[in-house]
Amino acid sequence: MYNIWIVWASWAVGIEMIACLFDLHIPVNELRLWASEKSAGKIMRTPFWEKIIQEVNDDFFEWLDFALFSAWGDNSKKYAPIAIEKWVIVIDNSSAFRYDENIPLVVPQINANTIWNAKLIANPNCTTAIAVVALYPIYKKYGLKKIIMSTYQATSWAWAKGMQELLENTKRYFDGQEAKVENFAYNIAFNLIPHIDTFQENGYTKEEMKVAWETHKIFWDDNIAISCTAVRIPTLRAHSESIVLETKEKVDIEDIKEILKNAPWVELVDDITNKKYPMPQNATKKYDVEVGRIRKNLVFWEYGVELFVSWDQLLRGAALNAVEILQECIKNKELHK
């Protein structure tokens, strides 16, 4: 049994982490929830009984085995080193450590072996985490030369406040009131915004470049050419992606469907005759990544495949992947007892 702390537990991802700990039967001895001063003292109902949220401080990493961070990068940079000094294993959901070559960036279905005895493990960006779950089985058999991706990302990127802004501005629209914009570049209700995160010198946004940087690191392959356009859309918590692949080997579409059907945490939803395909409303609150619309690409032909994926950004794109990393860390501990 293990003592586990969740840092910034009051946020949407932190709340989902608690549920994943229970659903995946993590052997929890004691669970503590930390957040900012604003949330401290509040009582949260969890599958591990009611818990009082405590304010994060430098002295709270005693008698602890694991810390799951669902905070922004600045908070992770401040508190993760403190936890590590006290022999705590940290699993961080922010972008603070993803691009450090000495820190593993992990999707357990792909590269759990990189965890070893690491004291700090980074969780990938949501867009990357979902894409690679679907792409890795194809990569292993057919190889990949190019990935061209367009994302359709929900308001949950800005956690609960982003989803609330969508709901409030939808109501304002029907009430004839002006939209109130706080978390996005423009009003998101009845709109889409081809801009997520900051623009880089090459004209891509940081969100778009994360897909390339992180896929290269997770696959341990810098030779794949990757281009992404990230778009914010007015859905609550499920992201989607349209993905075009150029493979190294000639593709067999039926074989690819069979590979994905048998891949872990992938649900094949690909029956166009009966209008069955991945959609955000069906992927919401689901652990599996929905994959469908699988077809031969008309640009790359025998070496091309196109597909569409949908998934719950708060789960498979964040909390669930972090708790699966925790599972792997526990396995390592048990092996070395």
Q: Which helix (H) or strand (E) holds 85?
A: helix 73-85
Q: Are 130 and 288 in contact (CB under 8 A)?
A: no
| Best CA proximity match to 82, nearest among 98, 67, 101, 72 | 67
Q: Are 244 and 150 in contact (CB under 8 A)?
A: no
Neighbours of 193 (CB within 10 A): 16
H helical segments located in the chain: 12-23, 73-85, 108-111, 126-142, 159-174, 206-219, 253-261, 280-283, 320-335
Catalytic residue selected from 25, 195, 228, 239: 239
Query: What distance in Å separates the CA atoms of residue 257 and residue 62, rounded to the nearest whole number?
Result: 48
20 labelled catalytic? no
Residue with tokens 């190889």: 143
For 97, the token pair is 């450590």
Q: Are 27 and 15 in contact (CB under 8 A)?
A: no
Q: Mention every residue, 6+ apart, whose C-beta is less than 8 A from residue 276.
A: 269, 270, 292
Catalytic residue selected from 20, 126, 228, 329: 126
239 labelled catalytic? yes
Structure letter (DSSP) for residue 214: H
Cα separation values, 14 from 9, 120, 196, 214, 325, Å: 4, 18, 22, 22, 15
Query: What distance in Å separates the CA atoms of residue 263 and residue 294, rounded to the nearest whole number?
Result: 15
Catalytic residues: 126, 239
